[in-house]
Amino acid sequence: MAPAERIVIENCAIATVDADDTEYATGHLVLAGDRIESVGAGPAPEGLTGVTRRIDATGHLATPGLVNTHHHFYQWLTRGLATDHNLFDWLTALYPTWARIDEDMVSAGARGSLAMMARGGVTTAMDHHYVYPRGTGDLSGAIVRAARDTGVRFTLARGSMDRGESDGGLPPDFAVESLDEALAATEATVREHHDASFGALTQVAVAPCSPFSVSTELMKQGAELARRLGVRLHTHGSETVEEEKFCHELFGMGPTEYFESTGWLGEDVWMAHCVHMNDSDIAAFARTGTGVAHCPSSNARLAAGIARVPDLLRAGVPVGLGVDGTASNESGELHTELRNALLVARLGPHREAALTTRQALRLGTYGGAQVLGRAAEIGSLEPGKLADLVLWRMDTLAHASVADPVAALVLGAPAPVTASFVGGRQIVADGGLLHVDEDALARTTREQARRLARS
């Protein structure tokens, strides 16, 4: 076997986000192939062979790549609509438009969403896609191809809905699948695209949309399918007070009890939002190891409320960050969620003790890796882990007067990304994408958004 080619990065501050939150004021990283070979204080070891590149990262902070744990890529085409609505009114306003997406639109929305995240430090993304109108092409394949072309690590949460308007749901009937169709298509997607190996670029999760758009049978059989195939489970949970009322009226229990009754709590499960949770709900998540994708900007945009993130973390619940769909978080960037997670949490009862800057960074890196079931591979800068990392420039006017680089990253203006690596392969240089024509993509997304609006 040929020796691995090495990239040496030196003279940067490093926040490893390991179990001890180890940091170096000035340190080095050595990347060998797709792995991190060494990380530590001072210059890299002498005598390294096979070094193909040396990066003087003076003035930079190195962190693990950001991990996005909840998104809806297709919504890139419907940004800026229904801006003064709560969740249910927002869904009612937008479902008639979303129900008319096709493969070209989904591809453009996925590429726009991925590009925006990647240029802002995301190295692992996910998409919860659950709208599959009949006869509209290979939507899942279009999303997977978009992630591959952008260069990020990716989880497709293959969603589904089988409760249309005629069954008391919100989406139009022609935009939902039958129970059997949803299960069969989900299984086919897992078998075609899921890679269970260490370092996989593409994985698939089973992801019925939400309690109010999915039958109980789809929830139960979806969980059984995921466990039979050995993949993770994802859905929306406890997002609004209206959802809680819906669950009590329809099922005679709250969302967490309902999820437990359908097999939807466990170490292989993560839920989006989890805003309205009482102490017993949090205890159930902690007891079962169920994860949470926290989406602070979207929660605020839709007036959903303030999630109890400090309480979730203190109970031992895995928590990561999510952009959520860009129809409820128009920026489409995850690094802004580091700041918003901290600020929103401090508006709650814990006030200034709610979250620290290091905890916010952990949510966006290692916490996300936990939630996606990949903490052994990504989420921290440690020897043997995948070389997914970001170099943030901290010596410009926006950040240079802040002595603490982690505080500057979390609390300051969005920091420029000088370099971003996925498995040792660089995907961003000086804030721009290396494998995507951003101007051409902007034109394509605008054209597809206009086409969807006309439909």
Tokens 């293959």, located at residue:
158
Q: What is the pLDDT of residue 2?
A: 59
Per-residue pLDDT band for 46 (boundaries 50, 70, 90) equals: very high
User: What average pLDDT does range 234-248 have in this prediction?
Assistant: 91
Q: What is the pLDDT of residue 229?
A: 98
CATH 2.30.40.10 domain range(s) in the chain: 6-64+380-433
- Least Cα distance to 72 among 270, 400, 324 occurs for 324
416, 421, 426, 427: CA torsion to nearest 10: -60
Q: What is the pLDDT of residue 170?
A: 77
Per-residue model confidence as pLDDT tens digits over 98-107: 999 999 999 9
Paired tokens of 304:
């959903």
Per-residue model confidence as pLDDT tens digits over 106-138: 999 999 999 999 999 999 999 999 999 989 999
Q: What is the pLDDT of residue 3?
A: 64
Q: What is the pLDDT of residue 173?
A: 83
- Least Cα distance to 126 among 201, 226, 35 occurs for 201
Instruction: Answer yes or no: is pLDDT of 448 > 70.
Output: yes
Superfamily of domain 6-64+380-433: Urease, subunit C, domain 1 (2.30.40.10)
**Which region holds residue 443: left if phi is over 0, alpha if psi is between -120 and 50, else beta?**
alpha
User: What average pLDDT does range 85-93 have in this prediction?
Assistant: 91
- Please name every residue paired with 41 in a beta bridge, in sequence order, or none if there are none: 27
Higher pLDDT, 87 or 389: 389
Instruction: Answer yes or no: is pLDDT of 219 > 60.
Output: yes
- Least Cα distance to 114 among 266, 309, 332, 319 occurs for 332
Q: What is the pLDDT of residue 98?
A: 94
CB burial string 266-280: b at 16+ within 10 A, e below: bebbbbbbbbbbeee
Cα distance between the two ends of the chain: 55
CATH 3.20.20.140 domain range(s) in the chain: 66-372
Tokens 């709590």, located at residue:
265
- Please name every residue paired with 159 in a beta bridge, in sequence order, or none if there are none: 207
Tokens 């995907």, located at residue:
427
Task: Give 324: exposed, middle or buried? Use CB within 10 Å, 0-12, 13-18, 19+.
Answer: buried
Per-residue model confidence as pLDDT tens digits over 1-35: 456 799 999 999 999 999 999 999 999 999 999 99
- CATH no., domain 66-372: 3.20.20.140
